[in-house]
Structure 1
Amino acid sequence: MRKLVLLAILAIAAAVLPTAIASAATVAPHAVQAGPTADQILAKVASCKQISNGKYKTDEDSGSATVPVCDAGKAVFWKADMDIDCDGQRTTQCNENTDCCFYPDTAFPQSDGKPLNAAKLPYIVVPSSSSIWNYANSGLRGGGSCAVIYNGKVEYAVIGDTGPNKIIGEASYATAKDLGINPDPKNGGVDSGVTYVCFKNSAVNPIEDHAAATSTGQKLASAFVGGN
């Protein structure tokens, strides 16, 4: 009798279990939706409405200035190279020995007042204000949200430093590494193919929180792609 009862219980369990599993699957929370693809963002910046008064060089020794800053409604963008910025906190990757031009500070500090950590935090560099372009006049500021696109990948970064006023196309060690670009400040970077899209009047707080930069950037990029 006990054996018959046990068999009956097992049969009932076998019939109920698949239904229970299926029900649990239907109520499982959905995964957090990521932001738009690289192609979707690039489609919104296919043409340039130039707002810079002239163009920028990609390097000091570049023969001519070829890169304009363009307006795209909710964002501004430029298409350039990527030089590696290692400025900020001294780390194994970024210091006087690894980078000939290392400077132990960044234009925009962390919430605790310390410089940003280029080896850890994805950030980009905007040109210092000049007669060519004043980034602040375009609604950009330190800690602003940007999408950096290269080779089909999107990295969300913050505006973390300023650079020479006639050169454009620079980002931190961490930005390059996350995009699959050689991050070595001596021989890294890439000569072309990088698109920088910075969202107007945006802010990531605290500036050093990359998770916040990613979630903020994804939301802004979605609104940018979905807008007219």
Structure 2
Amino acid sequence: MDAAQETQNVTFKRVLLKISGEALMGDQGFGLHPPTVQRIAREVKTVHDLGVEICMVIGGGNIFRGLSGSAQGMERTTADYMGMLATIMNALAMQSALEELGVFTRVISAIRMDEVAEPYIRRRAVRHLEKKRVCIFAAGTGNPYFTTDTAATLRANEMNCEAIFKGTKVDGVYDKDPVKHSDAKRYDVVTYDEVLQKHLGVMDASAIALARDNDLPIIVFSLDEPGGFRGILAGQGTYTRVHG
């Protein structure tokens, strides 16, 4: 299939890519691994080249995770705000990597920090997407007690995205951890209610409920598979679709 055919056959025109902060740390145990950030940026660019409008939400767990911070005795609200700041750092790193590839990008923060990121204004963000800029939504929802999964689902709905793409280390949703269990079964399709009832760990319960209430499909795929993101949008590849 040539590039023109791929562009014509793309499944979705506007999507949100959700990845964890841990996806940016490569084989390191902590922090950012620049070659990994650059590899993911190249994957995003291949989809952007198809004419797809892309939003991103990146977690902050490679730098600081609010929930684990509170578990160690830190006050939860403070810990969550620290986690939001970690997502800003990851968003800036991804912006730098994308712009080195010639992809115009905006980091849009739910917490005002005008020197480094735009404040979240829905209509402005939609306009950026229409101009084919990649929008990286950072700082979660701007509120403690909400995860970046919930932020991703919220922003995807606000931006009228057609799907959330959840990039993970495995090629879909399994009934148990495929790394630990050789007999783990992969689902091609699973419903929102099954994800909640079986605790399948796609996203947290609030995010799944918000997606279900707005009939927003979630595509779970392997971010480690080269060309996987582009392939799925062109109707190929292995993934799990979560829908009603």
TM-score when scaled to structure 1? 0.28
Q: Which has the larger radius of gyration?
A: 1
**TM-score of the pair, normalised by structure 2:** 0.27
Q: Greater share of helix residues, 1 or 2?
A: 2
